[in-house]
C-alpha cells in the first residue's frame, strides 16, 4: 500500500476550511431542477383574460398561417428544408390546436396602465377568479400568473395591493395553480427584491401556505440592475439574498434599451447592449436553478408585413436558443406559429447528432467526438428540452439514444438521480 504524506489532521483542516464553500454550493447552486420550462411567455392586459383565451389565440394563429400558405410554407420561409418543414409543421399544428400558450401573464403594468384604484381592485379579483375557473376547467395554460406594477415609490402600494388581491382571491378559490408565476417588473435594486420576498413570506404566513410556495420572476429592464452605483452587479446578488424564491430573470427589451438612450429604430433583442445585459444575467444565475428568458420583438406579422415579421421573429427565436435563452416573450397570436416553428426546427435539426453522441457516451462507444460528462449533460439537456416543448417525441428519443425519459432526465440533471430512483 502506498504511503501518504498528508495526515488525517491535514484532511480535517481542509474540511474545516471548505465547510462554508460546501454549504454555499449546496444551498445557492443546486442546479436546474429538471422541471419543464415554457418556451415563451404571452402577455395580455389583465382585464382581457377569459378561460377561452388560450384556445382563441390558437385559432387565430392557425388562421394566420392558413391565410399565408400553411405551416409548411412558414417553415420554408424560415429556411427549413422540405423534410424538416414537413415534420415541424405537423407538430406545430398539433401544438396550436392543443396548447398554443405555454405561459400566460395577465398584465397589470404597462399593458394595463392606471385605471384608478377601484377599477384595478375589481380587475385583480376578477382576474384571479377567471384563472381559478380556467384551471378547474382545464383550459388554462400550464403556467399562468400576473405582472403587477413595480416597486418604485409612485406605484409600489398599487403593485402590492394588486398582488395581495390576486393571490388572496386565488387561495380562497381553492388550491393555487401548480404553474402559478408572479412577475416583478422594472427592478433596480436588491432591496426591491428583498421587499418582494417579505411580501410573499407574509402572504404565505397569512394564508397557511408552505414557506417558499410563492415564487417570482424578476424583469431585468434597468441598467442599474446590471451595474450598480458601487461598481458591482446587483443582479448577481439576487439568487443569494433570497435563495430559492426567484424562478427566472426576464430581459425587458424596450425599457432597457430606452434607459440607455438607444433610439427607437434600433431597440432590439440583438442590439449589443442587449447581448451584454443578457450575458451578465447568464453569469449571475449559472448553477442557481434560476431560468432565463429573452424579451420580445414588437414587429408583428399582420397586414403587409407578415412574411418579413415572421422571418425576423423566427431568426430572433433561433438566435436566443443558440445563446442559451430557451424562453422569450410573444405579444400577438400571429407570433405563435413562428415561435413554435423556429423552436421545433432548432431541436429537430440538432436531434440526430445529439442523440448519436449521447448514445455513444452511454454505451461507451468510440466515435468521432470524445464527450466528457459535462458535455453529456448538455446533450441530454438539449434533447430533454425538445421533448418537454413537444418538438420531439419520447419514443423517438428512446429509439435514437437507447434511454427512456427517466434516464434522460437523470443524464441531464445528475443530482436528481436519488429522488428519481
Question: How many CB atoms within 10 Å of residue 264?
Answer: 9
Angle subtended at Cα 41 by Cα 303 and Cα 409, rounded to the nearest 5 degrees: 130
At 421 the pLDDT is 45
Predicted structure pTM score: 0.94
Alpha-carbon distances of 155 from 112, 150, 301, 360, rounded to whole Å = 13, 6, 33, 56
**Tens-binned pLDDT, residue by residue, of the chain (421 aa):** 678 999 999 999 999 999 999 999 999 999 999 999 999 999 999 999 999 999 999 999 999 999 999 999 999 999 999 999 999 999 999 999 999 999 999 999 999 999 999 999 999 999 999 999 999 999 999 999 999 999 999 999 999 999 999 999 999 999 999 999 999 999 999 999 999 999 999 999 999 999 999 999 999 999 999 999 999 999 999 999 999 999 999 999 999 999 999 999 999 999 999 999 999 999 999 999 999 999 999 999 999 889 999 999 999 999 999 999 999 999 999 999 999 999 999 999 999 999 999 999 988 865 555 568 889 999 999 999 999 999 999 999 999 999 999 999 999 998 877 654 4
Domains parsed from the chain with CATH numbers: 40-347 (3.20.20.60), 351-420 (no CATH)
Going by DSSP bridges, is the β-strand pair 246-251/216-220 parallel, antiparallel, or unpaired?
Answer: parallel
User: Within 13 Å and on the Cβ side, how many CA atoms surround 231?
Assistant: 0
Going by DSSP bridges, is the β-strand pair 180-184/143-147 parallel, antiparallel, or unpaired?
Answer: parallel
b/e 38-65 (16+ beta carbons within 10 angstroms → b): bbbbbbbebbebebebbbebbeebbebb
Which residues have a Cβ under 8 Å from the Cβ of 74 and sit 6 or more positions away? Answer: 65, 68, 85, 89, 310, 337, 338, 341
At 114 the pLDDT is 96
104 in Cβ contact with 41 (< 8 Å):
yes
Which residues have a Cβ under 8 Å from the Cβ of 192 and sit 6 or more positions away? Answer: 150, 151, 184
User: Within 13 Å and on the Cβ side, how many CA atoms surround 411?
Assistant: 28
Amino acid at each position: 500500500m502506498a504511503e501518504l504524506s498528508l495526515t488525517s489532521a491535514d484532511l480535517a483542516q481542509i474540511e474545516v476550511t471548505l465547510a462554508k464553500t460546501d454549504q454555499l454550493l449546496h444551498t445557492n447552486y443546486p442546479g436546474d431542477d429538471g422541471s419543464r420550462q415554457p418556451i415563451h411567455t404571452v402577455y395580455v392586459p389583465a382585464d382581457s383574460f377569459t378561460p377561452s383565451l388560450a384556445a382563441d389565440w390558437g385559432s387565430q394563429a392557425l388562421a394566420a398561417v392558413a391565410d399565408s400558405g400553411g405551416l409548411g410554407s412558414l417553415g420554408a420561409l424560415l429556411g427549413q428544408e422540405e423534410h424538416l418543414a414537413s415534420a415541424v409543421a405537423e407538430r406545430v399544428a398539433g401544438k396550436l390546436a392543443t396548447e398554443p400558450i405555454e405561459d400566460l401573464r395577465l398584465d397589470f403594468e404597462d399593458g394595463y396602465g392606471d385605471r384608478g384604484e377601484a377599477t384595478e381592485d375589481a380587475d385583480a379579483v376578477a382576474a384571479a377568479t377567471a384563472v381559478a375557473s380556467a384551471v378547474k376547467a382545464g383550459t388554462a395554460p400550464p403556467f399562468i400568473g400576473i405582472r403587477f406594477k413595480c416597486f418604485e415609490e409612485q406605484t409600489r402600494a398599487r403593485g402590492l395591493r394588486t398582488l395581495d388581491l390576486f393571490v388572496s382571491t386565488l387561495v380562497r378559490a381553492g388550491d393555487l395553480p401548480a404553474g402559478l408565476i408572479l412577475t416583478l417588473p422594472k427592478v433596480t435594486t436588491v432591496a426591491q427584491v428583498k421587499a418582494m420576498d417579505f411580501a410573499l413570506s407574509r402572504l404565505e404566513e397569512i394564508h397557511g401556505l408552505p414557506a417558499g410556495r410563492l415564487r417570482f420572476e424578476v424583469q431585468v429592464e434597468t441598467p442599474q440592475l446590471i451595474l450598480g452605483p458601487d461598481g458591482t452587479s446587483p443582479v448577481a446578488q439576487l439568487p443569494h439574498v433570497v435563495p430559492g424564491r426567484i424562478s427566472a430573470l426576464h430581459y425587458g427589451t424596450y425599457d432597457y434599451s430606452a434607459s440607455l438612450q438607444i433610439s427607437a429604430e434600433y431597440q432590439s433583442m440583438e442590439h449589443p447592449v442587449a447581448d451584454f445585459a443578457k450575458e451578465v444575467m447568464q453569469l449571475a444565475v449559472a448553477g442557481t436553478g434560476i431560468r432565463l428568458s429573452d424579451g420580445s420583438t414588437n414587429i408583428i406579422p399582420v397586414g403587409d408585413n407578415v412574411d418579413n415579421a415572421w422571418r425576423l421573429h423566427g431568426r430572433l427565436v433561433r438566435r436566443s436558443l443558440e445563446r442559451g435563452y430557451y424562453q422569450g416573450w410573444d405579444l400577438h397570436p400571429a407570433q405563435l406559429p413562428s415561435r413554435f416553428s423556429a423552436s421545433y426546427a432548432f431541436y429537430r435539426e440538432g436531434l440526430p447528432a445529439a442523440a448519436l453522441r449521447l448514445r455513444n457516451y452511454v454505451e461507451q462507444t468510440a466515435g468521432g467526438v470524445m464527450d466528457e460528462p459535462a458535455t453529456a449533460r448538455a446533450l441530454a439537456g438539449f434533447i430533454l428540452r425538445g421533448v418537454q416543448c413537444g418538438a420531439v417525441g419520447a419514443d423517438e428519443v428512446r429509439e435514437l439514444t437507447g434511454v427512456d425519459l427517466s434516464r434522460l432526465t437523470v443524464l441531464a440533471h445528475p443530482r436528481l438521480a436519488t429522488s428519481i430512483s
